[in-house]
Amino acid sequence: MSKHDSSRRNFLKGVGIAGAGAAITDHLWTEAEAKEEQQTTAYGASGDIKVVLNVNGQQRTVQVEPRTTLLNALRNHLEPAVTGPKLVCDMGTCGACTVLLDGKPAYSCLVLALDAANKKITTVEGLGTPENPNAVQAAFVEHDALMCGFCTPGFVTTISAYLKKNPNPSLAEVREACKGNFCRCGTYPRVFEAALAAARKGSQI
Protein backbone atom coordinates (compact mmCIF):
# COMPACT_ATOMS: atom_id res chain seq x y z
CA MET A 1 0.00 0.00 0.00
CA SER A 2 1.43 3.42 -0.89
CA LYS A 3 1.66 6.29 1.60
CA HIS A 4 -0.76 8.16 -0.60
CA ASP A 5 -3.41 5.43 -0.38
CA SER A 6 -2.89 5.15 3.35
CA SER A 7 -3.41 8.86 3.87
CA ARG A 8 -6.52 8.84 1.66
CA ARG A 9 -7.99 6.15 3.89
CA ASN A 10 -7.04 8.01 7.06
CA PHE A 11 -8.55 11.16 5.66
CA LEU A 12 -11.89 9.42 5.01
CA LYS A 13 -11.89 8.03 8.54
CA GLY A 14 -10.88 11.38 9.97
CA VAL A 15 -13.67 13.41 8.38
CA GLY A 16 -16.26 11.53 10.37
CA ILE A 17 -17.45 8.54 8.35
CA ALA A 18 -18.47 6.58 11.43
CA GLY A 19 -19.56 3.07 12.44
CA ALA A 20 -20.77 0.75 9.68
CA GLY A 21 -20.09 3.38 7.01
CA ALA A 22 -16.41 3.51 7.92
CA ALA A 23 -16.17 -0.28 8.08
CA ILE A 24 -17.65 -0.60 4.56
CA THR A 25 -15.38 2.14 3.22
CA ASP A 26 -12.37 0.47 4.81
CA HIS A 27 -13.38 -2.87 3.32
CA LEU A 28 -13.83 -1.34 -0.15
CA TRP A 29 -10.40 0.33 0.04
CA THR A 30 -8.80 -2.94 1.07
CA GLU A 31 -10.42 -4.77 -1.85
CA ALA A 32 -9.38 -2.10 -4.33
CA GLU A 33 -5.83 -2.13 -3.01
CA ALA A 34 -5.64 -5.93 -3.25
CA LYS A 35 -6.80 -5.77 -6.87
CA GLU A 36 -4.29 -3.03 -7.67
CA GLU A 37 -1.52 -5.04 -6.03
CA GLN A 38 -2.42 -8.14 -8.07
CA GLN A 39 -2.13 -6.12 -11.30
CA THR A 40 1.15 -4.53 -10.19
CA THR A 41 2.51 -7.96 -9.37
CA ALA A 42 1.68 -9.24 -12.85
CA TYR A 43 3.22 -6.32 -14.75
CA GLY A 44 5.87 -5.06 -12.35
CA ALA A 45 7.36 -8.21 -10.87
CA SER A 46 10.92 -9.12 -11.71
CA GLY A 47 10.55 -12.87 -11.20
CA ASP A 48 8.98 -15.37 -13.57
CA ILE A 49 5.23 -15.64 -13.71
CA LYS A 50 3.03 -18.39 -15.08
CA VAL A 51 1.15 -17.53 -18.27
CA VAL A 52 -1.27 -19.83 -20.05
CA LEU A 53 -1.34 -19.30 -23.81
CA ASN A 54 -3.83 -20.76 -26.26
CA VAL A 55 -1.52 -21.59 -29.18
CA ASN A 56 -2.99 -23.22 -32.26
CA GLY A 57 -5.86 -24.64 -30.23
CA GLN A 58 -3.72 -25.98 -27.37
CA GLN A 59 -3.39 -24.60 -23.86
CA ARG A 60 0.34 -24.09 -23.29
CA THR A 61 1.85 -22.95 -20.00
CA VAL A 62 5.05 -20.86 -19.84
CA GLN A 63 7.07 -19.40 -16.98
CA VAL A 64 8.32 -16.02 -18.14
CA GLU A 65 9.32 -12.61 -16.86
CA PRO A 66 6.43 -10.16 -17.25
CA ARG A 67 8.45 -8.20 -19.85
CA THR A 68 8.70 -11.25 -22.15
CA THR A 69 7.24 -10.72 -25.60
CA LEU A 70 4.85 -13.21 -27.12
CA LEU A 71 7.43 -13.91 -29.85
CA ASN A 72 10.10 -14.71 -27.27
CA ALA A 73 7.68 -16.89 -25.29
CA LEU A 74 6.69 -18.86 -28.38
CA ARG A 75 10.21 -19.37 -29.68
CA ASN A 76 12.25 -19.68 -26.49
CA HIS A 77 10.03 -20.66 -23.60
CA LEU A 78 7.58 -23.20 -24.97
CA GLU A 79 8.64 -26.81 -25.04
CA PRO A 80 8.40 -27.86 -27.82
CA ALA A 81 9.03 -24.39 -29.26
CA VAL A 82 6.83 -22.70 -31.87
CA THR A 83 9.35 -21.26 -34.33
CA GLY A 84 7.17 -20.33 -37.31
CA PRO A 85 7.07 -16.65 -36.30
CA LYS A 86 10.57 -15.28 -36.89
CA LEU A 87 12.66 -12.74 -35.00
CA VAL A 88 14.05 -10.23 -37.48
CA CYS A 89 13.73 -6.56 -36.50
CA ASP A 90 12.25 -7.05 -33.00
CA MET A 91 10.74 -3.57 -33.27
CA GLY A 92 7.50 -3.88 -35.21
CA THR A 93 8.65 -2.97 -38.68
CA CYS A 94 9.13 -6.14 -40.74
CA GLY A 95 6.21 -8.50 -40.06
CA ALA A 96 8.35 -11.66 -39.85
CA CYS A 97 6.90 -12.35 -36.41
CA THR A 98 3.25 -12.01 -37.49
CA VAL A 99 0.72 -14.21 -35.66
CA LEU A 100 -3.05 -14.00 -35.49
CA LEU A 101 -4.60 -12.86 -32.21
CA ASP A 102 -8.27 -13.77 -32.26
CA GLY A 103 -7.97 -13.91 -36.05
CA LYS A 104 -6.27 -10.53 -36.50
CA PRO A 105 -2.63 -10.17 -37.62
CA ALA A 106 -0.31 -8.83 -34.91
CA TYR A 107 3.45 -8.36 -34.56
CA SER A 108 4.26 -10.81 -31.80
CA CYS A 109 7.50 -8.93 -31.03
CA LEU A 110 5.36 -6.01 -29.85
CA VAL A 111 2.90 -7.99 -27.70
CA LEU A 112 3.68 -9.10 -24.15
CA ALA A 113 3.03 -12.80 -23.59
CA LEU A 114 1.01 -11.70 -20.57
CA ASP A 115 -1.32 -9.68 -22.79
CA ALA A 116 -1.85 -12.61 -25.16
CA ALA A 117 -3.28 -14.82 -22.42
CA ASN A 118 -7.04 -15.25 -22.99
CA LYS A 119 -6.57 -14.70 -26.74
CA LYS A 120 -6.59 -17.28 -29.47
CA ILE A 121 -3.06 -17.30 -30.88
CA THR A 122 -2.59 -18.77 -34.36
CA THR A 123 0.86 -19.14 -35.87
CA VAL A 124 1.73 -20.34 -39.35
CA GLU A 125 1.90 -23.88 -37.91
CA GLY A 126 -1.78 -23.62 -36.97
CA LEU A 127 -2.93 -22.73 -40.49
CA GLY A 128 -2.15 -26.10 -42.02
CA THR A 129 0.31 -28.96 -41.99
CA PRO A 130 2.85 -30.16 -44.58
CA GLU A 131 0.41 -32.95 -45.43
CA ASN A 132 -2.62 -30.71 -45.40
CA PRO A 133 -1.55 -27.10 -46.12
CA ASN A 134 -4.10 -24.33 -46.39
CA ALA A 135 -4.60 -22.70 -49.79
CA VAL A 136 -2.06 -19.94 -49.12
CA GLN A 137 0.64 -22.34 -47.94
CA ALA A 138 0.02 -24.57 -50.96
CA ALA A 139 0.11 -21.60 -53.33
CA PHE A 140 3.43 -20.37 -51.88
CA VAL A 141 4.94 -23.77 -52.69
CA GLU A 142 3.31 -23.98 -56.10
CA HIS A 143 4.39 -20.46 -57.10
CA ASP A 144 7.84 -20.67 -55.52
CA ALA A 145 7.04 -17.56 -53.50
CA LEU A 146 10.12 -17.55 -51.29
CA MET A 147 13.87 -17.30 -51.40
CA CYS A 148 15.50 -17.37 -47.95
CA GLY A 149 12.05 -17.95 -46.44
CA PHE A 150 12.52 -15.77 -43.39
CA CYS A 151 9.61 -13.50 -44.24
CA THR A 152 7.40 -16.35 -45.46
CA PRO A 153 5.53 -17.34 -42.25
CA GLY A 154 4.60 -13.70 -41.73
CA PHE A 155 3.31 -13.25 -45.29
CA VAL A 156 1.40 -16.55 -45.21
CA THR A 157 -0.24 -15.62 -41.91
CA THR A 158 -1.15 -12.09 -43.01
CA ILE A 159 -2.52 -13.26 -46.37
CA SER A 160 -4.49 -16.16 -44.85
CA ALA A 161 -6.24 -13.72 -42.48
CA TYR A 162 -6.81 -11.18 -45.26
CA LEU A 163 -8.40 -13.67 -47.68
CA LYS A 164 -10.94 -14.59 -45.02
CA LYS A 165 -11.93 -10.93 -44.92
CA ASN A 166 -11.71 -10.35 -48.66
CA PRO A 167 -11.89 -13.65 -50.57
CA ASN A 168 -11.67 -12.05 -54.00
CA PRO A 169 -9.04 -9.30 -53.84
CA SER A 170 -7.39 -7.37 -56.63
CA LEU A 171 -3.60 -7.23 -56.94
CA ALA A 172 -3.66 -3.71 -55.51
CA GLU A 173 -5.65 -4.91 -52.50
CA VAL A 174 -3.23 -7.78 -51.85
CA ARG A 175 -0.30 -5.37 -52.02
CA GLU A 176 -2.04 -3.06 -49.57
CA ALA A 177 -2.85 -5.96 -47.21
CA CYS A 178 0.84 -6.97 -47.21
CA LYS A 179 2.22 -3.50 -46.53
CA GLY A 180 3.26 -4.49 -42.98
CA ASN A 181 5.40 -7.39 -44.21
CA PHE A 182 8.84 -6.90 -45.77
CA CYS A 183 10.76 -9.30 -47.96
CA ARG A 184 14.43 -8.46 -48.08
CA CYS A 185 14.94 -10.94 -50.93
CA GLY A 186 12.43 -9.03 -53.06
CA THR A 187 10.13 -11.95 -53.75
CA TYR A 188 7.07 -9.68 -53.85
CA PRO A 189 5.79 -10.53 -57.37
CA ARG A 190 5.59 -14.23 -56.54
CA VAL A 191 4.15 -13.59 -53.09
CA PHE A 192 1.33 -11.57 -54.64
CA GLU A 193 0.87 -14.13 -57.40
CA ALA A 194 0.55 -16.87 -54.74
CA ALA A 195 -1.95 -14.79 -52.76
CA LEU A 196 -4.16 -14.31 -55.83
CA ALA A 197 -3.89 -18.00 -56.71
CA ALA A 198 -4.92 -18.92 -53.16
CA ALA A 199 -7.90 -16.57 -53.43
CA ARG A 200 -9.07 -18.49 -56.49
CA LYS A 201 -9.12 -21.63 -54.28
CA GLY A 202 -10.82 -19.72 -51.47
CA SER A 203 -12.78 -22.59 -49.98
CA GLN A 204 -9.57 -24.22 -48.71
CA ILE A 205 -8.25 -21.23 -46.71
CB under 8 A, 24+ apart: contacts of 120-124: 120/54, 121/53, 121/54, 121/55, 121/56, 121/70, 121/74, 122/56, 122/157, 123/55, 123/56, 123/74, 123/82, 123/84, 123/85, 123/99, 123/153, 123/157, 124/84, 124/85, 124/152, 124/153, 124/156, 124/157
Tell me if 126 sits within 8 A of 57, measured CB to CB: yes
In the complex with ligand FES, the residue whose CB is nearer, 87 or 159, is 87
In the complex with ligand FES, the residue whose CB is nearer, 94 or 195, is 94
Q: C-beta of 172: minimal distance to ligand FES in Å?
A: 21
Q: C-beta of 104: minimal distance to ligand FES in Å?
A: 15
Q: C-beta of 149: minimal distance to ligand FES in Å?
A: 6
Binding site for ligand FES (CB under 6 A): 87-90, 92-97, 107, 109, 146-151, 183-185, 187
Q: C-beta of 189: minimal distance to ligand FES in Å?
A: 12
Q: C-beta of 54: minimal distance to ligand FES in Å?
A: 20
In the complex with ligand FES, the residue whose CB is nearer, 32 or 141, is 141
d(CA 124, CA 128): 7
